Each structure stands twice: as C-alpha cells, then as structure tokens.
A and B are shown apart, each in its own frame.
Chain A
Amino acid sequence: MVFLKKKKELFLFLALIMVHLIFISFQLPGGTEISYMERAVFFVYSPIQNLAHKVIQGISASWENYFDLRGVREENQRLKKELFFHFQEIRFLEEQLKFYTSEKFIKENFSRFRNSLIPARIIGSDPVNIYQSITIDKGSLDGIRKNMIVCDKFGNLVGRVMGPVSLKESKIKLITDSTSGVHVISRKSGVVGLLVGKSDYLAELKYALSSGPELQKDEELLTTGYDGIYQPGISVGKILSSFQDTNMPVFQKIIVRPNFQFSKLDIVAVIPSLTEETIK
C-alpha cells in the first residue's frame, strides 16, 4: 500500500498512456468510425474556434468598412459585369438543356438544387496536416449531415462531411487526404479510376489500366457517382503526369492536381450526397 502511494504519480501516468493506446487501437487498421470521445471534444471546443473566426472576421470587416473603401466601386462594377455573364451562361445552359428534357423538370430541379445548397465558411484547418481536413461554421442545426458533398465557390470538389458534426460546426475530409477516395472519369479519354489523396497538395488516380487509353496532361477529371456518395459530373482536378507504375505494371501511375485552391478557400457550398438524393 505504501509502495502504491509512493508510486501514485507514475501509476496515474501509466493509466493515461493506456487510455491513449486503447483509443488508438480502436481505430486501427481502418480508422473509419469516430469515437464518442472525439465527438465530445469537438462538440465542446468547436464553438471556441467559431468565436475566434468571428472575432477575426469582425475586425477585418471593420477594417474594410472604415479604412479600405478604395476600389470598392471598381470591384462592384466588375462583379456586376461578371454576374451578368454568369446569368447569360445559365440562361444559355438552360436553353441547351431544354433540348434534352422538359422545362418543368429543369425548373423543379434548379429550385431544388438552390434550396438544398448550404453556403458555409471555413473556420479552421487541420492542426496535424493542412491537406487532411477543415472545419466549417455550419452544423446539424443548418441541415449538415454526414457524407454531404463540399465544393468550392467555383463548383470544384473539395471533399465531404466526415464528422463529427456539431450543432454549428462540422469537420470536412478533403479529397487530398490519403484516406479519401472518389470514383472519377477523365473527360476526354473516358478513363475511370479511384482518386486517392496523398496528404499533400496532390492526389493520385489509382487503378487506371495501362492497356487503356493514355491520359494527356491537363485532362480534366469528373466524378462518376459510382462510389454512391459524390454526385456525377463534379469537376475534381486535372492530370499532372502519367507513367507506367513499376510496382504494378498493370496500372498507370497518374498524379492529379485538384482544382480547388487551398490558399483561396474561404466559402464553400455543401450539397446533398448521392445517397440522400436517391432517397428523396
């Protein structure tokens, strides 16, 4: 008993180490399910992150409002012009679509798409690897659910909601994360494969057969929807290089540069996943 009292500190320390090892072992080898502990920590601390972001936003907004009004008029004119062209493009695309489907169907689909889209702001990046995940300021109260798709403001795929989803915050798994997988097809040559992140600013297209058509540099990749999560036709990235995989000669080794730009990522659009659309 005296020995235990003397070594109390050491036993407490060893107990804590054991707890961590148990946490880690539960997640291996897959690491897919999020533990209640992780959810709880995220739930408690994510509002602080949101608050910090709002403080920064407030300060920078005041700075812009009071001190940096120069150029606003110019920017306004430019945005109006851009908006005009975007409206024209949408109208043109709507007209083109009418050749394939009825006007009623298009209108219904467009309004449904607008209603289901949730704009969100990025409030935090991953403390371990910037290319793994991000935190957004929308949560379950705003209608965010696990596996919803996240795109940047230009419609390029960024990732999906992986959870934990808190009341007003959620964590997003980026397509550049090494545990992320997106089924894609190349726009020109029709090569299909699985896009897997490299946990840096690039991704890799896996399982594209060497016997298939050769991919050209800058060829665009789009989602196929075969993975059951990402809706088809979303722009993902461009081919950076392709060569024969020496380890697995059956497949090509293809490096892809994702279309979304991490440093310019501020506002994202969260849209329902394919499974949710199918259920509807």
Chain B
Amino acid sequence: MRSRFLLDVFLAVVALSISFFLYSILDNLVWYGIYVVNLFSVIVVVLAIKEGAVFGAFLGTACGLIQDAFSGGIFGISGLTKTILGYSVGRISRFIDISTGYRKVVFIFLLSSGELVLWIVLSAFIRGQKVFLADGIVVLQPAVTSVISSVILALEHRLSLRRS
C-alpha cells in the first residue's frame, strides 16, 4: 500500500517535471505555442484516466499551481480548474466506455472545453477584466489537448499489449 503511494508520488513528480520541461521548450520555440497546447492539461487528463480520480485531482492541483506560479495572475485559478478537470476525468471515465479512439477524443474534448470555459469565467469574474485569449488561439486548446492525450493513451495501450 505504502509502496504504491510512493510510486504514485514518484510518477506524478516525474510527469510534472517532464511536462514543465516540454512546456518551457515549446515556450522558447514557438510564439503563442503554449496557448495552443496546454501540456499540463494533457498530463492531467492522461494520468487521471490511467490512475483514477484522486490521483487526477492531486495532479491537477500540482499542475495548475505551477501554471499559476509562472503567471502574473491570481495564484490558484488554474489550480482550481485543473483539480476539477483531473477529478472529473478520472471519475467519469470509470462509468462510461471510452475504449475507442473516437470516444476518447470526444470525451476529453468535452471535459477540457468545460475546464477552459470555467477558467475564462473565473478569471473574468475574479480579476474583473477581459481575459487574454491570444487572438482566439486559446479556443483551440481543448481540441489539441484531446488529440494529443488520445494519441498518448493509444501508444501506451499498444506498448502494454506488446509487453504482455
């Protein structure tokens, strides 16, 4: 039980560090790149589907707080929305069938769209001003998140099939 918990923590720390490293590379390479691909959402969605709702919620908290710490905005908004994303993805994926690629894409797209809408509403409400949408590019985030997450999950599934 304890070793399982430690393994989970280790997995979360490694996943976070890798996603943050990739996020920083993307930020340095592509102008507005970090607004098209939200790697934190990708990592939260993928691991919430794999590990469950509680893991997803905690990872969402960590990812959101990192995003907030590097932003000039209110600390905690992304943390809150990503916690909800991680928990809801982990929870709902246990009740519905998302085994096919198409279902996965639609499921992740809907939940990450919900997260984005919640983030926009909260940011506008708390800061009381227009939310930065990077010339509308931010709207692409749920679609890109769902495609990348589904590809990662499919690859992981293939790898585990090969191993077994």
Kindly identify, within residues 15 to 37 of chain A, every residue whose CB is under 8 Å from any CB belonging to chain B: 16-17, 19-21, 23-24, 27-28, 31, 34-35, 37
Mask for A181-222, Cβ within 8 A of B = 1, else 0?
A: 000000000000000000110000000000000000000000
In the assembled complex, the Cα of A152 lies from the Cα of B143 at a distance in Å of 36
B-binding segment of A76-84, A90-98, A122-130? A122-130
Residues of A within 8 A of B70 (CB): 42, 45-46, 49, 124, 126-127, 133, 135, 171
CA A21 – CA B75 in complex, angstroms? 10
Question: B84: which A residues are within 8 A, CB to CB?
Answer: 17
B75 contacts A125, C-beta separation under 8 Å: no
> With an 8 A cutoff between CB atoms, is B116 at the interface?
no
Q: Which of A51-59, A112-120, A138-146, A232-240 contacts B (4 or more CB under 8 A)?
A: A51-59
Is A268 at the interface (CB under 8 A from chain B)?
A: no
In the assembled complex, A248 has its CB within 8 A of some CB on chain B? no
Given known contacts A16-B58, A42-B69, A128 and B132 CB-to-CB distance under 8 angstroms? yes
> Which of B1-9, B28-36, B107-115, B152-160 has 4 or more CB atoms under 8 Å from chain A?
B28-36
Which residues from A are CB-within-8-Å of B21? 48, 51-52
User: Is A9 located at the chain interface by the 8 A CB criterion?
Assistant: yes
**B83 and chain A: residue at smallest CB distance:** A16
Measured CB to CB, the nearest residue on chain A to B73 is: A128
Are A45 and B20 closer than 8 Å at their CB atoms? yes
For A52, the chain B residues whose CB sits under 8 A away are 21-22, 24-25, 27-28
A200 engages B20 (CB within 8 Å): no
A selection of 19 A-B contacts at a CB cut-off of 8 Å is A16-B87, A19-B61, A24-B75, A27-B75, A37-B75, A38-B68, A41-B68, A45-B66, A45-B69, A45-B70, A48-B20, A48-B24, A52-B28, A127-B23, A127-B27, A127-B70, A127-B71, A173-B72, A200-B132
Give 4 nearest A-B pairs by CB, closest first: A52-B24, A133-B72, A132-B72, A23-B76
